[in-house]
Structure 1
Amino acid sequence: MPLLPGTVGLAGLLFWASQTVNALMPNATLALARTEGTAVWPLSGLGVPRSRRKRHISARDMSALLDYHNHIRASVHPSAANMEYMVWDERLARSAEAWATQCIWAHGPSQLMRYVGQNLSIHSGRYRSVVELVKSWSEEKRHYLYPAPKDCNPHCPWRCSGPVCSHYTQMVWASSNRLGCAIHTCGSISVWGSTWHQAVYLVCNYAIKGNWIGEAPYKMGKPCSACPPSYQGSCSNNMCFSGPKSNRLLWF
């Protein structure tokens, strides 16, 4: 079905924008169960370039994406007892770049999805800030119902009243404390059967991988009351915070 100017449908949901077209990929990184070793993500050998070259994202956009994620994480409701402060990870950014340049509107590469979470967004037209490309992820919050502790016996139910909530839950997954994104302009890309030209493609990768079925994205409670021991009780802006080094981009 051809796309109408200014609108695109996703499971019955319409996104409206002025002089733009924006689309979301349903998050395909929902995992059925945790298994041994899933916290380890060996990017070597998974098609991730090691060399440093001109990046597909500016330092300004890196900071904007990171700050926005931490803003959303700090303001969850109900409040989170174990929300970890998110930092930039260049390895994740390089893996996001490697996938974005393929101009494939799907999650991938498949061998990497076992180890990282991933959110995708694509945009046709002008935009003022990279944050505009991810706001629709956080806006899924209005459709997500945090499971009551009494309902997690032992597995938590998944309650989403909209077409998708998993972009938001990945953003606020407490232990997903590393982020790496890339932006690439695709000359042409197939999006649900239609060809988009000069489309801005955003790929964000997360570690540790979130969206585990049967688990809540975070523990409900007083902010920082259940931080992992490695934080040694340090807290900043409602998030577990490991110190000054966490307040800058990490380069590897």
Structure 2
Amino acid sequence: MTLFHVHLYFTGSVFWMMQKSSSFMLPNSTELLSSTRSTTADLTVSLGVPRNRRKRYISPREMSALLDYHNQVRAQVSPPAANMEYMVWDERLARSAEAWAEQCIWDHGPPQLLKFIGQNLAIRSGRYRSLMDLVKSWHYEKQQYSYPYPYECRPSCPLKCSGSVCTHYTQMVWASSNRVGCAIRTCTNMNVWGSTWRQVVYLVCNYAIKGNWIGEAPYKMGKPCSACPPSYGGTCNNNMCYSGRTQLVNANRDGFKMAPLNGGKNEESLRSGKH
């Protein structure tokens, strides 16, 4: 069956229309909220994320494919990136994505966690589409993006870019967003902008350190690996700063053991339309 890509710019969203099926992406991939002193450990507890491993809704094979695709996209950015970091899977981010996906709410959340992480969402209903089809739809937003600034999704009309259609892509290629964790959930019913969708497959991907900072490019342009953070020790792999690890092991179950998710930045609000 033929897949038609039809772009309808209501509230800045992209509508991927197919015969006998539907798929949406939320217009803004991250919510940049007020800074807070809460720790990530506090957030995971307040969300009720269980300390023991729960049933996964994404298979190991899908996890590997999703991670490989992110790194493929990151390695091939144009113009080339001088400081692109290799992305690894983070189980804590995956668990927080699971906790949100289980709510079956078509919106970014929860608010207290969005202060620290980036988030991409996608849903589909109708005929079968693979998980990677949903992830690739974020990459397709590259067509709407012009380096360097993420809010200039369509440079010919930047003042009309309040409903962003490229921030899923820029979050994927944000250089310092070197950790990702995703979950997929089938929702019996979901309210999607006033309409009830049934048997919806809901994908949630959480990223750290969060991207899409106002006034900043997703990465530094230059020779690959020429501006890697010192912690990488000068190691480069496939045009990316590389530490040698492919998955974070979260040994401490009481919270993340990592750098502050907000990178010590003062947060601002994106010029993005509300959905």
Deviation of 1:112 after TM superposition, in Å, equals 0.3
Tell me, in whole angstroms, the C-alpha distance in 2 between the residues paired with 1:27 and 1:225: 31
Deviation of 1:10 after TM superposition, in Å, equals 4.8
Deviation of 1:45 after TM superposition, in Å, equals 2.4
Tell me, in whole angstroms, the C-alpha distance in 2 between the residues paired with 1:7 and 1:172: 24
Amino acid across the alignment from 2:248:
L
Q: Quote the residue 1:206 is aligned against.
A: 207
Q: Is the 8 A contact 2:150 2:218 kept in 1?
A: no
Q: Does 1:250 align with 2:251?
A: no
Q: Does 1:159 align with 2:158?
A: no
What are the Cα deviations for residues 59-80 of structure 1, in whole angstroms up to 9, with x where unaligned? 1111111011111100000000
Tell me, in whole angstroms, the C-alpha distance in 2 between the residues paired with 1:201 and 1:8: 21
Q: Does 1:45 align with 2:38?
A: no
Tell me, in whole angstroms, the C-alpha distance in 1 between the residues paired with 2:28 and 2:71: 20
**CA separation of 1:214 and 1:7: change in aligned 2, threshold 3 A:** closer
Q: Quote the residue 1:180 is aligned against.
A: 181
SS at match of 2:137: helix
What are the Cα deviations for residues 181-221 of structure 1, in whole angstroms up to 9, with x where unaligned? 00000000000110000100000000001111111100000
Deviation of 1:44 after TM superposition, in Å, equals 3.1
Q: Is the 8 A contact 2:29 2:121 kept in 1?
A: no
Tell me, in whole angstroms, the C-alpha distance in 2 between the residues paired with 1:238 and 1:20: 38
SS at match of 2:51: coil
User: Pairwise mapping of residues 1-252 of structure 1 onto structure 2 (< 5 A)?
Assistant: 9-11=8-10, 13-27=14-28, 29-31=30-32, 41-42=40-41, 43-47=43-47, 48-147=49-148, 158-161=151-154, 163-243=164-244, 246-247=245-246, 249-252=247-250
Deviation of 1:29 after TM superposition, in Å, equals 1.8
Q: Is the 8 A contact 2:153 2:166 kept in 1?
A: yes
Q: Quote the residue 1:153 is aligned against.
A: none
Q: Is the 8 A contact 1:46 1:112 kept in 2?
A: no
Normalising to structure 1: TM-score of the pair? Answer: 0.85
Gaps of 5+ in 2: 155-160, 251-275
Tell me, in whole angstroms, the C-alpha distance in 2 between the residues paired with 1:135 and 1:105: 19
CA RMSD of aligned residues (A): 2.4
Q: Is the 8 A contact 1:64 1:130 kept in 2?
A: no
SS at match of 2:143: helix
Gaps of 5+ in 1: 1-5, 148-155
**CA separation of 1:71 and 1:19: change in aligned 2, threshold 3 A:** farther
Q: Quote the residue 1:150 is aligned against.
A: none
Q: Is the 8 A contact 1:22 1:123 kept in 2?
A: yes
Tell me, in whole angstroms, the C-alpha distance in 1 between the residues paired with 2:101 and 2:199: 13
Amino acid across the alignment from 2:153:
C
Amino acid across the alignment from 1:51:
N
Identity of aligned residues (%): 64
Q: Quote the residue 2:259 is aligned against.
A: none
